[in-house]
Amino acid sequence: MIEENAKDNVAKDVVRIILEKEWNKEVEKKLVGMRIVLTDNFVIRVLKELRSYPVKALRFFQWVDRREGYQHNTVTYNALMRVLGRDDSIKEFWSAVDEMKNAGYEMDIDTYIKISRQFQKIKLMEDAVRLYEFMMDGPFKPSVQDCYILLRSISASDNPDLDLVSRVVDRYKATGNSLSKSVYDGMHRSFTSAGKFDEAEKIVKAMRDAGYEPDNITYSQLVFGLCKSRRLEEACKVLDEMEAGGCIPDIKTWTILIQGHFAANQVDKGLLCLVKMTEKDTNPDADLLDVLVKGFLSQRKMDGAYTFVVEMVNKLRLVPWQATYKLLIEKLLQVRKLEEATDLLRLMKKHNYPPFPEPFDQYISKFGTVEDAVNFFKELSVKEYPSSVAYLRMLDSFLREGRDSEARDLLFKCPHHVRKDHKISKLFGSAKTGDKTA
C-alpha cells in the first residue's frame, strides 16, 4: 500500500507539471528531473488523470515513447485510445489508431465498445462506422449486438444517413456473417425513419425470405416512420394489418402511434386511438401515461392531465414514473393549483418515491399562506414530522420573498426541536430568536 500510494503521488505530481502550462522543453526537463520509473501501470495512471486534456495526454504518451528503457504496448495504446476518443481530439485519435496498427498492436474489444458508445452518444456517427469497419478487419470483431446498436444509433438521427447503414451491413456480411433478425430490424428502422418506405418494404421481404416474420418491433418501426412523416392514417392502418396477419399490437406499438398523433398536434385523434386500444383489452403503462400527460400539457389541459393520472392510479393501480409526477406537479403549481399538486405529492409518497419539495417551497413562499406551509409539511413525510432541512428550506424561501412576518408565524407553528435547530436559529439572526419565538 505504501508503495502504491507513493506511485500515485508521483503520478499526480507528473499531471500537475503537465497541466501548469503548454507542453514545451521546460515541461519535459522537469519530467526528466523527476527520474520517473516508467511502467505500464504508471503510464495508464497518468493518462487516466489527463482524460479531460486529451492533447496533453498524447504529448505525455509521445514523450514516454522517446524515453530509453520503455516501449509502449497494447495496454498503453488502448489506454491512450480511451482518452483520445472524443470530439475535440478526433484527428489525434485516428492518427494514434494508425500508429498503433503500424506498431503491430490491436484495439481490444472493451476499448472499442467504450469508444463506440462515446462516438454514438456525441453523434460522431461517421467515426463510429469507421471504427466499426476498422474492428471488423481485425482479430477482435464486434458482436451482432454491437452491429444492431450502431444501426439503431444511426436511425435515431432526424435524417438517418443511409450510406452509413449500407457500410455497416456490407462490412458485417463481408466477414461471412448472415443477417440476423436484429440486423434486419436495424436496417428497417433506418429506412422507415428516413421516410424511405419502398426500400423498407424490400427489407421486410428479404427478411421474410430469410425465414424471419415481421413482429411488433418491425411494425412499430413502420408506425414510427409513418407518424414522423405525418402519414397518420396509414400508421393507423398498419395496426389493422398487424391484427389481420395474426400479430397483435402490443403497448409499445400503441404508444408510438398515440405519441405520433400528439407530435402532429392531433391530440383528439390520439385519444381516440387510446380508446380503441383499451377496447382491445390493452391498458396503459407508465410509458404511455407519460406520453399522454405531455400531450395534455402541450394543449395546456392541466386539469385533464391531472384527472387522467389520478384515474389511472386509482382504477388501474398504475404506478406513474417519478418524472411524470414531477413534471405535472410543476405545471399545476405554475397555474396555482396547489390542492391538485398536493394530491399528486400524496400519490408519490404512496408509491414510495422520494419527496419533491422544491416547487412547493417556491410556490407557497410566494403565493401561499402559513397554513398552506403547515399542511404541506404534513404531506411531505410518512413520519410525524419531516426533517429539519424541510423546515429550513421553506422558512428560508419565505425570508427570500421578503415575507418575514409570515416566516416568523410559521416558525412559531414548527415543532419545538425545529425551533431549537441551530441552522434555523441562525437563519433568523441569532439563537435567541428561536428561543423567544418558542
Q: List pLDDT tens digits, range 302-329.
A: 999 999 999 999 988 999 999 999 999 9
Mean pLDDT of the chain: 90
Helix (H, G, I), strand (E, B) or coil at 68: coil
Give the pLDDT band of residue 3 (cuts 50, 70, 90): low
CA–CA distance, 16 with 413 (Å, rounded to integer): 54
The packing angle between helices 404-413 and 370-380, to 10°, is 50
Please give the C-alpha separations between residue 62 and each of 28, 47, 387, 420, in angstroms, as whole numbers.
Answer: 11, 12, 55, 62
Q: How far apart are CA 309 and CA 301, in angstroms?
A: 13
The answer to whether the beta carbons of residues 41 and 4 sit under 8 Å apart is no
Residues in contact with 428: Cβ distance below 8 Å, sequence separation at least 6, in sequence order = 395, 407, 408, 411, 434, 437
272 and 278 in contact (C-beta within 8 Å)?
A: no
Residues whose CB is less than 8 angstroms from the CB of residue 325 and which lie 6 or more positions away in sequence, other chains included:
309, 344, 347, 348, 353, 356
Torsion of CA 82, 86, 92, 94, to 10 degrees: 80
Q: Taking 50 as the threshold, does the pLDDT of residue 437 lie above it? A: no
| Structure confidence at residue 78 (pLDDT) | 97
Cβ atoms of 269 and 283 closer than 8 Å = no
pLDDT at 434: 42
Average pLDDT over residues 212-228: 95
- Residues 269 and 261: their CA atoms lie apart, in Å, by 7
State residue 436's pLDDT score: 42
* Mean pLDDT value across residues 200-210: 95
Q: Determine the pLDDT at residue 433.
A: 42
Rounded to whole angstroms, how far apart are CA atoms 194 and 188? Answer: 10
Give phi and psi for 213, each to the nearest 5: -85, 145
Using one digit for the tens of pLDDT, what is the confidence trace for 91-139? 999 999 999 999 999 999 999 999 999 999 999 999 999 999 999 999 9
Task: Please state the rounded mean pLDDT for residues 181-192.
Answer: 94
**For the chain, which residues make up each domain, given as ranges?**
1-105, 121-212, 357-438
Cα–Cα distance for residue pair 95/321, rounded to 1 Å: 45
Query: Over 80: is that where the pLDDT of 8 sits?
Result: no
How confident is the model at residue 166, as a pLDDT?
Answer: 94
Question: Any residues with CB less than 8 A from the CB of 20 and at least 6 apart, and which?
Answer: 27
Q: Where are the alpha helices (DSSP H) in 103-196?
A: 109-121, 125-136, 144-155, 162-174, 181-193
Average the pLDDT over 36-64 and give the result: 92
Spatial contact of 332 and 340, defined as CB atoms under 8 Å apart: yes
Q: Each residue of 369-393: b (16+ CB within 10 Å) or e?
A: ebebbebbbebbeeeeebebebbbb
Are the C-beta atoms of residues 272 and 280 closer than 8 Å to each other? no
- Which pLDDT tens digit goes with each residue over 369-420? 999 999 898 888 766 678 888 889 999 999 989 999 999 999 888 888 888 8
Average pLDDT score over residue span 25-52: 90
Q: What percent of the chain has pLDDT over 90?
A: 70
Query: Dihedral through CA 49, CA 54, CA 55, CA 58, nearest 10?
Result: 70
Q: Is the pLDDT of residue 428 over 80?
A: yes
User: Is the pLDDT reported for residue 6 higher than 80?
Assistant: no
The share of the chain scoring above pLDDT 70, in percent, equals: 96
> Residues near 268 by Cβ (< 8 Å), separated by ≥ 6?
none
Residue 43 has pLDDT above 50, yes or no: yes
User: Does position 5 have pLDDT exceeding 70, yes or no?
Assistant: no
